[in-house]
Amino acid sequence: MFALMAAMLSADESNVQFDPRIDFGAFRTFSFRAQQVDSRRVELDNPLFLKKLATAIRRGLIGKGLTETNGQPDVVVEFIVTGEEFGDVERRLIRRVPAGPVAVRRPVRITEGTLVIDIFRRGDADPVWRGVYRDDERTGSKLVNKLPDDARKLLEKYPRVRR
């Protein structure tokens, strides 16, 4: 029923799902509903980051020809960011040593953020469009700066309003 577009973007992963029976070009207005961050990272779990992300999503939709409204929108937008952290090891080969190449291991921590943008036709319980972007970074600060750009990349795949 749902079409799936998937793309591997370096270590990141993204995909977009949408209902192919829907005429997305007919949707002209949108508004935001739920905005949520579920992460222990203090740089992500705060209203300033939510606002930054909402701004990126708003720009993406406006760029597709939609208009934000406080009234009765054609579509309602929700988004959630979930974060996870895990340890890993970086392996490197150091060549410039007298005894020859030496393999070294360095502990690293991966901060993973998953952004899910759902777009609902007003009144529907299920989304008609879903974009998911999983971004792995070494630091929380990179994630803060990358996730809004990830939102932009997802919304590039949203259909343009028909004129």
Partner 1 sequence: MLLSGPVLADDHVVLIDEDVDFSAFRTFTIGTVTVTSKHPALNSPVVPRVLREAANAVLMNRGLAPVASQPALIVDSSVRSVDYGIDRMGRPVEQGVSRGRGRRQPNPNQPDFTEGTLVIDVIRADTKALVWRGVYHDTDPDASRVAAALPEHVKTLLSRFPRLRK
Which stretches of the chain bind partner 1, using CB under 8 A?
A: 42-43, 46-49, 51-52, 55, 85-89, 102-109, 138-141, 144-145
Between residues 17 and 139, which has the closer beta carbon with respect to partner 1? 139
Residue 70 per-residue DSSP state: S
**Cβ partners under 8 Å of residue 41, min gap 6:** 83, 85, 111, 140, 143
Least separation in angstroms between CB 71 and partner 1 = 22
β-pairing, 29-38 vs 67-68, is parallel
Q: Which is nearer to partner 1, 28 or 52 (CB)?
A: 52
Least gap, CB of 86 to partner 1 (angstroms): 8
Q: Which is nearer to partner 1, 16 or 53 (CB)?
A: 53
Q: How far apart are CA 148 and CA 41, in angstroms?
A: 16
Distance CA 113, CA 111 (A): 7
The Cα 6–Cα 131 span in angstroms is 10
**Distance of closest approach, residue 70 Cβ to partner 1, in angstroms:** 17
Minimum Å gap between C-beta 102 and partner 1 is 6
* CB of 3 or CB of 102, closer to partner 1: 102
Measured from the CB atom, the residue of 8 and 103 that comes closer to partner 1 is 103
The least distance separating partner 1 from the CB of residue 105, rounded to whole angstroms, comes to: 4
Contacts of 149 (CB under 8 A, 6+ apart): 56
Q: Which of 37, 40, 47 is nearest to 109 (CA)?
A: 40
